Amino acid sequence: MTATRRPHGAGPDGALVCLACDRPREAGHYLCRSCWPALPGPARIRLCRRDRLALARLRQLVDQLHDGTPLNQIEITL
């Protein structure tokens, strides 16, 4: 029996879930409405930028979440 892979940020039913808490999130958002305000202001500003570094910033966010960094200590440097 093989495990089914699901995209990061998708629930078992394929619905979009928050990258931090697995609650439902909206399309085009990385986090749910409860988790987004917990990020430091500079991190939110950088994550909102839509440019060639957007995916690298998302990678920074995901890596820190996987490392167990609390939301209020997330740093996005790009």
pLDDT in tens, 30-76: 899 999 999 999 999 999 999 999 999 999 999 999 999 999 999 99
| Rounded Cα gap, residues 53 and 1, in angstroms | 39
Q: What is the pTM of this model?
A: 0.78
**Around 12, how many Cα atoms within 13 Å sit in the side-chain half-sphere?**
1
DSSP assignment, residue 36? Answer: G
Spacing of C-alpha 13 from chain mean position: 19
CA–CA gap between residue 20 and residue 35 (Å, rounded): 7
Instruction: Record the tokens describing residue 44, joined without a space.
Output: 């939110």
